[in-house]
Each structure stands twice: as structure tokens, then as C-alpha cells.
Structure 1
């Protein structure tokens, strides 16, 4: 897995776990699956940022997202 893909997958995992956290708290349950998803997404983010020479900036994220989507969609 390359750095760009890991960054985007990590961000998508974190963003998609937010509704799960809200639903778990509103039902009175512990957000176990959402917590695991956030940990996995955070690990992917940390790996992508630390292993890419020069790292990423906030302004690099939209361009990276478009490049990754364009690479994997026909």
C-alpha cells in the first residue's frame, strides 16, 4: 500500500466512524467497533505521514484524494 492510499483510507475510516460513535452513545452502548475503526484509521494516517519523505500538509490532502480516486476508478 502506498502512502497516498493509506492516507486516504485512514481519513475515510475516521470520517465514517463518527456516525457510529454518535449512534452508539445515543443508544447507550459502548462504541467498540467505532473505537477500533478510529484506531485503525489513525494508524494508517500516522504510517502514511511518517513514511512519506517530507510528510503531508493540509493543502496536500485534496490533491492526494483526487489522485487516489482517479488512479483506482476507470
Structure 2
């Protein structure tokens, strides 16, 4: 089952991976269309996870959330 924690972590990972793609497109002089779409999707996933969790998330909880999500895959 996909939880809000999984959506939050996946959104953060997509956002972090989009940064090099944006930089690469910018350095090549082209428009970062796919990377911009990835950033929008990432932001939407993060906002969805935060608003659908009672009380939201704090920055201090992020390492524990990442650990739980990665541990669920292993």
C-alpha cells in the first residue's frame, strides 16, 4: 500500500534528481522541459503528503521517514 510517507520520500527523490537535469539543460542552452515537469510533480507529491497527514511533517522527522520507507523495500 502506498502511504503518505512513501509519496513524500518519492517526491523528494524526484525533486533532487531533477536538479542536475535542469542544470544540464540550462548549460546546453535548451529549455528544461522534462526536468521542469519533474519538479512540478515532485512539489505536488510533497504537498499532497504533507496536507494529507494529520499534523503534517517536521524537518526533524525526515531521516526517520526515509529510513522507514527504505527499510520497507528491504
TM-score (norm 1): 0.96
Cα distance in 1 for residues equivalent to 2:72 and 2:55 = 22
Whole-angstrom distance in 1 between the partners of 2:63 and 2:34: 27
- Which residue of the partner structure matches residue 36 of structure 1? 37
Q: Which residue of 2 aligns with 1:21?
A: 22
CA displacement 1:38-65 (0-9 Å, x = unmatched): 0111110000000000100001111000
Gaps of 5+ in 2: none
Report the number of matched residues: 73
| Structure 1: stretches of 5+ with no match in the other structure | none
The aligned residue for residue 12 of structure 1 is 13
Give 2:67's aligned residue.
66
Q: Distance in 2 between matches of 1:26 and 1:13?
A: 20
Structure-2-length-normalised TM-score: 0.96
Separation (CA, whole Å) in 1 of partners of 2:62 and 2:33: 28
| Displacement after TM superposition at 1:72 (Å) | 1.1
